[in-house]
Amino acid sequence: MKVNKIPAEERIIFPLDVSSSEEAFFWIERLNPFVGIFKIGLELFTSEGPKVIEKVRKKTDKKIFLDLKLNDIPNTISRTIKIISELGVDWVTIHVLAGASALKKASECAYNNLKLIGVTVLTSLDKADLLELGFNAELARDPKELVFRLAFLAYFSGCDGVVCSAKEVGKIKENFPELITVVPGIKLSEELGRVDDQLRTATPYEAILSGADYLVIGRPIREAEFPEKICEEIIFQIKKALEEKND
Task: Show the site string, 166-195: x = touches ligand C5P by CB under 6 A, - = not.
Answer: ------------------x-x---------
Question: How many chain residues are in contact with ligand C5P, going by CB under 6 A?
Answer: 16
Kindly state the smallest distance separating residue 246's Cβ from ligand C5P, in Å: 28
Strands 63-70 and 91-95: parallel
Q: Is 69 a catalytic residue?
A: yes
Question: Candidates 76-84, 103-111, 116-124, 138-146 — which segment interacts with ligand C5P by CB under 6 A?
Answer: 116-124
Kindly state the smallest distance separating residue 86's Cβ from ligand C5P, in Å: 23
What angle (nearest 5°) sits at the alpha carbon of residue 2, between those of residues 185 and 30? Answer: 50
Contact residue for ligand C5P among 157, 181, 198, 210 (CB under 6 A): 198
Question: Pick the catalytic residue: 69, 127, 171, 239?
Answer: 69
Length of the chain, please? 247
Q: Is 123 in the site for ligand C5P (CB under 6 A)?
A: yes
Cβ distance to ligand C5P smaller for residue 2 or 191: 191
Contact residue for ligand C5P among 44, 172, 180, 216 (CB under 6 A): 216
Kindly state the smallest distance separating residue 245's Cβ from ligand C5P, in Å: 23
Alpha carbons within 13 A on the beta-carbon side of 123 = 24
Kindly state the smallest distance separating residue 16's Cβ from ligand C5P, in Å: 8
**Rounded to whole angstroms, what are the CA distances from 142 to 66, 97, 145?**
29, 18, 6
Q: State the residue number with the nearest CB to ligand C5P.
A: 218
Site for ligand C5P in 34-63 (CB under 6 A): 41
Task: Show the site string, 8-27: x = touches ligand C5P by CB under 6 A, - = not.
Answer: -------x-x----------
Contact residue for ligand C5P among 77, 117, 162, 163 (CB under 6 A): 163
Cβ distance to ligand C5P smaller for residue 192 or 244: 192
Catalytic residues: 69
